Amino acid sequence: MNNRRRTGLAGLAIGIGLLILLTLAVHFIYAVWPWPEAPRGSGPLREAVIAERTRVEELAGGPSIRLIGTVIEWAYRITFEWTGLDGFMHSAADPSTENSADEISKRMAIGLRDLTETFYWSVQLIGLRLGVLLVSLPLFLVAAVGGAVDGAAAWYLRRTRVDRESGFIYHRAKFALWIAIFALCALYLAPPIPLDPKSVVPPFVAIFAITVRISVAYFKKYL
């Protein structure tokens, strides 16, 4: 049972990591695709970050904003500083070019400027949304506790009445729990347009509570 739980968490972590990579690809396609009568490049992503951050600051308090800012900072560190991309861009942009290698790096940086700017704003948007999901965890915890309490009451009544168990419902509800978490990450992280967290997160909090309630209510009586 513990091995299955660890496998599920590890699988979810791997899935979210792959989802982040897919989100980067979606943002790049959105930035370079020749949409008719629409601005291209990093501009739309930059506007999405500015608009969504303004909305988040209206909804969240000081501690939450600081936590979201920390997530954004770490997203930048991991993708730019740890990979050396930040140092490469700064050194290449230095006007004092001493040798041919520096000149080549500078020309590469200029040629890839649009891509790196798109990547930068994509990382900013992903970091912002990951921070919002992180500060939303207490909502999911409250929903899980409420769903578990109600489900435990239903489970107790079913046990005392000797009602028929349904392993099918239990396993499907448990599977739906992971699907709901992954679907929330997919629907919130991937869109390259501004989103309102109030329109995305609360429905999944309700779904989370329902799946927890069903999972607990149909938990096996005999282990």
**Which one of 7-11, 168-172, 199-203, 211-215 scores highest in mean pLDDT?**
199-203
**Which one of 100-109, 163-172, 209-218 scores highest in mean pLDDT?**
209-218
Band of the pLDDT at 1, cuts 50, 70, 90?
very low
Q: Give the pLDDT confidence score for residue 220 in this predicted structure.
A: 65
CA–CA distance, 103 with 95 (Å, rounded to integer): 10
Give the mean pLDDT of 183-210.
Answer: 90
Q: 206, 144 in Cβ contact below 8 A?
A: no
Helix axes 62-76, 113-135, angle to 10 degrees: 140
Per-residue pLDDT tens for 42-95?
788 899 999 999 999 888 878 889 999 999 999 999 888 888 777 766 665 555
Three-state secondary structure call for residue 178: helix
Q: Give the pLDDT confidence score for residue 157 in this predicted structure.
A: 79
Band of the pLDDT at 177, cuts 50, 70, 90?
confident
For the CA atoms of 130, 209, 146, 189, the dihedral, rounded to the nearest 10 degrees, stands at 10
Q: Give the pLDDT confidence score for residue 123 in this predicted structure.
A: 93
Biggest CA pair distance of the chain: 84
Q: Using the CB atoms, write b or e for 49-77: b if 16+ within 10 Å.
A: beebbebbeeebeeebbeebeebbeebbe
Average pLDDT of the chain, as a whole number: 80
Q: Give the pLDDT confidence score for residue 22 in this predicted structure.
A: 92
